[in-house]
Structure 1
């Protein structure tokens, strides 16, 4: 499952990197939160790194399940997914996998995703994934608060605002030029629905490649923002009165031999008219079956649930999904089938997600839906935000978790999670997220002080 190169193959890669001016190799994996971690070696030591020379004290990292007395884990770079840093070309970035005693370390979420992809392969499937990257470009003030750096970006409905887009062209251009130079094929980008917010859409790829790219994109966005004296943040909800950062997962399965999209179907052959195959509906049914548990990894922070509201402190609906439901091109569902058909989109994923962990669980859920021939029911086509409680109950539509606490409870209660993650990784996620919730819940906020201190 962790591919290794021959010495001659490593030497060829090493010489090619040297010819491009690379001096250092950065092997990078992510912790349970999706935060990149790694070590750097001079390129002369690439052979050693490729064979697992770089060791890590797992206890120093979140979610790797180690105690102070445990042996170190190793990191093995994936030499098929190298990116030379455009802003620091002396460094070659390499996504990496962890091993322990030479075996894949299953608490590493990239290793986990590769394992689930092998399960899909055994069924004859590969997975394609596209992630829509939404990000705020902001200024951090001296007091730590965040503000919109462009004084003209102040429309109440700023979505697709060309003036604000052009005001931030320097940063946007760096982003798009780099992504296209890397071969990602950016096909659309714009000023998004909130002031200071942008979206970048690049072509889907196999699931592992897309997760690697999303991880790299976040690092790149922050670096280019820093060059502008600004802050790029994928935080789900930086402002209570503006829409939040989604990272919608667009998913489909393909035939492992032919590459054919197995979710595609002529609309005339689809009883629902959505252009989705029976396999696609089964996949969606698996996602919905485990929707509440999946929400914990799609939306993994306290802040995530300030995005997953119908309206909140907004003057209009948020676009964020709050229901465990699916439909056509209806953005009030958590899962939708876009107009072109042939794929499904999970909309509750946000910018804080660990893409490897979320993708692994989503794929496993979809595969279970296929194995068990599950049916998601009829698509929901109305504005679900406007349903009364009795109407919602009559349709059998459930709410997704409304706080991180509820999401953790759903995650812990679903036996499927342990089947996919194993006991240790499941326990690690619960432990860290319960601690995050407890720390948040016991903190006394400025809002509480202003509201209550003069009353009682």
Structure 2
């Protein structure tokens, strides 16, 4: 199996040269004593080892090994060799908001001296390498929604702020004020890192929030989503709360989305989405932009396996109503202008908003799959048709999968999406099999709903 990213330079360990040491310089400049050497599995779980700065040479030489099977969904069996975490110094992130002297660095897992094609960060780098081969790069912004909750001894969930219980709490200034300490601590942490936090708001569900930061290169944004989730989890925990990104933690409330704002640029730093003499559908877009949109729509059912990758995801997209009166999650592959009822919103001529992803999505896999779908649309010169009007639903548009199992079936039937992960159907089939098993594990559990519905039904 051949990875698309460059192989490491030859050396005693087979890994990139460890000198000079940019990590050591960064650690010294920030007073860092320990570094979380971090990667995520395909489910998005952050995996790390805590490395003292005295051992940075070993980390940078690729000598920090993980048992890949134990780490999670990583394409390994118990008998396989170590995943070795190779740090990307450009992702160095001081975490003084969590612990003074702590930092995080995102790593690319290697096996036998080569980037591991099942590793999510490697997968996104492969997608970006393919895009670069076409003279393009991708930038992304992300909207990370989450709930702040507490868990009772019986496992029941409650809103962390007991006064936050109304049916229409979105943008409520009082709810934001009551969570002031949490929100401002997260905001200050983001700004200290140079992320450009520009808004912190109460979302549509009671106890739901969103904290926004500036867009950047796709890999940088994916790294920041992973880091932000970690920050939110830890900082909320320090206040006795749980920050959850679960797509649908409450039956009667809006679900958690992970919306991506996407744009393409050429290797000269020029935007490719604004109209360049081919605005065929009146949105101020170029042919490249329309092709990208068409690719996303054409592959939407299979794409959902990456954007909505859990059983619970489909409780969000399948919801019919909420306390607020809107679900904010479409079940049709449609696009339109500045309209949040579509899978793809076009807020301006510079970007699109991909809205069908949820809080359980792995940002590396979601962005890699979206790039693969959009690039296919560009290469085949697909056309998305005329944009939908406000709230319009067209019968010819793909209906998004009803369950995770339906999404897996769509993935298996879509060669482009099946090869979206490191250009390998082997990786795609491994992921599909794991998600099918996840669905069946849930399906085999007897729920309270079934007992209530069927215990004395006949």
Q: Deviations over 1:327-382 (max 9, x none)?
A: 111222111111x2211111111110011011111101111111111111111114
Question: What's the offset of the Cα at 1:222?
Answer: 0.8
1:408 to 1:269, Cα distance in 2 relative to 1, 3 A? closer
Paired residues of 1:326 and 1:379 also in contact (CA < 8 A) = yes
Q: What SS is found at the alignment partner of 1:330?
A: coil
Matches within 5 A, 1:155-166: 155-166=166-177
Which of 66, 89, 94 is the aligned partner of 1:84?
94
CA distance in 2, matches of 1:295, 1:374: 20
Q: Deviations over 1:293-348 (max 9, x none)?
A: 0001000001101110352455623110110111111222111111x221111111
CA distance in 1, matches of 2:116, 2:23: 25
CA distance in 2, matches of 1:62, 1:430: 15
Match of 1:238 in 2: 249
Match of 1:429 in 2: 431
Match of 2:12 in 1: none
Matched, 1:343 2:351: yes
Paired residues of 1:310 and 1:319 also in contact (CA < 8 A) = no
Question: What's the offset of the Cα at 1:38?
Answer: 2.0
CA distance in 2, matches of 1:15, 1:126: 29
Stretches of structure 2 lacking an aligned partner (at least 5 in a row): 9-14
Paired residues of 1:309 and 1:318 also in contact (CA < 8 A) = no
1:231 to 1:111, Cα distance in 2 relative to 1, 3 A? same
Paired residues of 2:372 and 2:417 also in contact (CA < 8 A) = no
Which of 298, 305, 315 is the aligned partner of 1:306?
315
Question: What's the offset of the Cα at 1:19?
Answer: 4.4
Paired residues of 2:419 and 2:427 also in contact (CA < 8 A) = no
Q: What SS is found at the alignment partner of 2:51?
A: strand
Matched, 1:451 2:453: yes
Q: Which moved more, 1:216-225 or 1:420-429?
A: 420-429
Match of 1:45 in 2: 55
**Pairs aligned (count):** 444
Paired residues of 2:373 and 2:417 also in contact (CA < 8 A) = no
Question: What's the offset of the Cα at 1:5?
Answer: 6.5
CA distance in 2, matches of 1:51, 1:275: 49
Give RMSD over aligned pairs.
Answer: 1.8
CA distance in 2, matches of 1:293, 1:136: 27
Matches within 5 A, 1:43-122: 43-86=53-96, 87-122=98-133
Stretches of structure 1 lacking an aligned partner (at least 5 in a row): none
CA distance in 2, matches of 1:310, 1:449: 22
Match of 1:418 in 2: 418
CA distance in 1, matches of 2:437, 2:174: 43
1:316 to 1:336, Cα distance in 2 relative to 1, 3 A? same
Q: Deviations over 1:90-124 (max 9, x none)?
A: 22211010111111111111101101111111111
Paired residues of 2:140 and 2:216 also in contact (CA < 8 A) = yes
Paired residues of 1:277 and 1:342 also in contact (CA < 8 A) = no
CA distance in 2, matches of 1:28, 1:315: 38
CA distance in 2, matches of 1:5, 1:455: 65
More helix by share: 1
Which of 129, 147, 152 is the aligned partner of 1:141?
152
CA distance in 2, matches of 1:141, 1:299: 27
Match of 1:405 in 2: 405
Matched, 1:378 2:389: no
Scaled by the length of structure 2, what TM-score is found? 0.93
Paired residues of 2:143 and 2:258 also in contact (CA < 8 A) = yes
1:74 to 1:272, Cα distance in 2 relative to 1, 3 A? same
Q: Deviations over 1:107-152 (max 9, x none)?
A: 1111011011111111111100001111101111121111112232
Question: What's the offset of the Cα at 1:68?
Answer: 2.4
Question: What's the offset of the Cα at 1:263?
Answer: 0.8
Match of 1:225 in 2: 236
Match of 1:353 in 2: 361
Paired residues of 1:310 and 1:321 also in contact (CA < 8 A) = no
Paired residues of 2:335 and 2:388 also in contact (CA < 8 A) = yes
1:42 to 1:310, Cα distance in 2 relative to 1, 3 A? closer
Match of 1:200 in 2: 211
Any runs of at least 4 consecutive aligned residues in structure 1 with deviations exceeding 3 A, and if so which? 1-8, 312-315
Paired residues of 2:35 and 2:53 also in contact (CA < 8 A) = yes
Q: What SS is found at the alignment partner of 2:90?
A: coil
CA distance in 2, matches of 1:364, 1:142: 44
Paired residues of 2:39 and 2:107 also in contact (CA < 8 A) = yes
Match of 2:296 in 1: 287
CA distance in 2, matches of 1:307, 1:255: 36
CA distance in 1, matches of 2:66, 2:23: 25
Scaled by the length of structure 1, what TM-score is found? 0.93
CA distance in 1, matches of 2:441, 2:26: 48
CA distance in 2, matches of 1:56, 1:211: 22
1:279 to 1:449, Cα distance in 2 relative to 1, 3 A? same
Q: Deviations over 1:184-224 (max 9, x none)?
A: 11122210001000111111000000000000000100111
Q: What SS is found at the alignment partner of 1:323?
A: coil
